[in-house]
């Protein structure tokens, strides 16, 4: 007796005929009839009343069905639970301090671990430790390596901030500028830049920002704006593509030259440990600014 035979008996009871049950189960009618005969032999009791083409459960069949349906229900619940376990095992939530390292990590993981499901949220540096401890994130992209016994970390990538100035700007031809020199300017700024926004507010308290929420609109405005804006040398961007009426100028403040670290709990699950171990073996991407 196997679970398929139990499903077959349930289908006959539900649909009323061998042929209808066979159609529902996507199997030939003679095959279904033989399978039910085997079940009856195994149980030592006839389960169906057969009168020509008509069949129905007899008293023994109805009694058997009272036990069969809880078994089928439990089997479905078991499969659902196993599916949820698999999904939770392969679903990683990433907390990141900035977008560029998240894009880089995602590209790495999709190629190396194609079965992983990823979701993400942008959090502050202060929230990283708390979120890892609470388990609300599986991995964190941090500005520091958090060298605590509870965590493991490895370098992920570097990123350096540049200012893009109109070519006729007084600072456009400097070899490098400081954020204090830029304080008071008006900048076109994309909203979803993570910790960079707080850094701009801190280092340039008198600057004004025209914030754009839509990345496509922001990209279009970059090509035509007479305002300054910021760019980085993250692998996803090409500073050399910025030409025409704007000039890319390095910024010399230490705070704008960052190294991101991938941080996980020391007692993380198997898939998280595998991800961290693999990332730790990969060379950091070459910045092309």
Q: How far apart are the first and last CA of the chain?
A: 68
The verdict on 116 and 35 lying in the same domain is no
pLDDT digits (tens, 9 = 90+) for 113-146: 887 888 888 999 989 888 888 888 889 999 988 8
Q: Would you say residue 162 lies in a domain?
A: yes
Q: End of a domain among 55, 88, 121?
A: 88
The verdict on 169 and 181 lying in the same domain is yes
Q: Would you say residue 163 lies in a domain?
A: yes
The verdict on 204 and 234 lying in the same domain is yes
Q: End of a domain among 70, 88, 106?
A: 88
Which tokens hold the place of 72?
Answer: 């089928």
Q: Which range marks the domain in which residue 95 is found?
A: 90-157+258-281
Total number of domains constituting the chain: 3
The verdict on 168 and 149 lying in the same domain is no
The model's pTM is 0.68
Q: Would you say residue 286 lies in a domain?
A: no
* Contacts of residue 44, Cβ cutoff 8 Å, sequence gap at least 6: none
CA–CA separation, 74 and 241 (whole Å): 60
Q: Is 114 exposed, middle or buried (0-12, 13-18, 19+ CB in 10 A)?
A: exposed
pLDDT over 70, % of the chain = 94
pLDDT digits (tens, 9 = 90+) for 150-163: 899 999 999 999 99
Is the pLDDT at 87 greater than 60, yes or no?
Answer: no
Is the pLDDT at 250 greater than 60, yes or no?
Answer: yes
| Cα distances (Å, whole numbers) of residue 184 to 63, 200, 204 | 84, 11, 7
The verdict on 151 and 266 lying in the same domain is yes
Q: Would you say residue 223 lies in a domain?
A: yes
The verdict on 164 and 247 lying in the same domain is yes
244 or 9, greater pLDDT: 9
Which tokens hold the place of 23?
Answer: 């159609």
The verdict on 100 and 174 lying in the same domain is no
| Weakest mean pLDDT among 23-27, 175-179, 191-195 | 23-27
The verdict on 272 and 218 lying in the same domain is no
User: Can you give the pLDDT at residue 79?
Assistant: 76
Q: Would you say residue 226 lies in a domain?
A: yes
| Weakest mean pLDDT among 40-54, 71-85, 164-178, 210-224 | 71-85
Q: End of a domain among 68, 88, 108?
A: 88
User: Can you give the pLDDT at residue 84?
Assistant: 60
The verdict on 194 and 121 lying in the same domain is no
**Residue written as token pair 């349906």:** 69
CB count within 10 Å of CB 32 equals: 21
CA–CA separation, 106 and 184 (whole Å): 36
What's the CATH code of the domain at 72? 1.10.10.10
The verdict on 164 and 217 lying in the same domain is yes
The verdict on 165 and 246 lying in the same domain is yes
State the chain's mean pLDDT as an integer: 88
Q: Would you say residue 70 lies in a domain?
A: yes
Q: Would you say residue 205 lies in a domain?
A: yes
Is the pLDDT at 83 greater than 80, yes or no?
Answer: no
What's the CATH code of the domain at 95? 3.40.190.10
Tell me phi and psi for residue 115, to 5 degrees.
-85, -5
Please say whether the beta carbons of 120 and 96 come within 8 A: yes
């Amino acid at each position: 007796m196997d679970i398929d035979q139990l499903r077959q008996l349930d289908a006959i009871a539900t649909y009323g005929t061998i042929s209808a049950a066979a159609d529902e189960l996507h199997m030939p009618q003679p095959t279904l009839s033989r399978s039910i005969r085997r079940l009856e032999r195994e149980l030592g009791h006839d389960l169906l009343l057969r009168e020509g083409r008509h069949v129905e459960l007899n008293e023994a069949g109805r009694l058997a069905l009272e036990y069969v349906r809880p078994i089928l229900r439990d089997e479905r619940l078991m499969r659902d639970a196993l599916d949820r376990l698999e999904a939770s095992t392969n679903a990683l939530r990433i907390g990141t301090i900035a977008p560029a390292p998240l894009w880089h990590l995602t590209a790495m993981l999709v190629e190396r671990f194609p079965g992983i499901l990823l979701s993400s949220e942008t959090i502050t540096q202060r929230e990283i430790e708390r979120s890892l401890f609470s388990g609300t994130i599986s991995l964190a992209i941090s500005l520091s390596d958090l060298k605590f016994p509870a965590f493991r970390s490895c370098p992920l990538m570097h990123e350096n901030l540049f200012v893009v100035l109109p070519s006729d700007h007084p600072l456009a031809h400097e070899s490098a500028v400081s954020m204090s020199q830029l304080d008071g300017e008006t900048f076109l700024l994309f909203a979803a830049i993570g910790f960079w926004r707080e850094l701009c507010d801190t280092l340039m308290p008198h600057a004004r920002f025209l914030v754009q929420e839509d990345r496509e609109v922001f990209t279009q405005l970059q090509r035509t704006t007479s305002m300054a804006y910021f760019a980085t040398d993250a692998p996803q961007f090409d500073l050399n593509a910025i030409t025409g009426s704007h000039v890319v100028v390095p910024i010399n403040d230490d705070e704008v030259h960052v190294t991101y670290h991938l941080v996980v709990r020391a007692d993380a699950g198997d898939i998280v440990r595998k991800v961290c171990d693999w990332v730790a073996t990969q060379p950091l991407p070459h910045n092309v600014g």
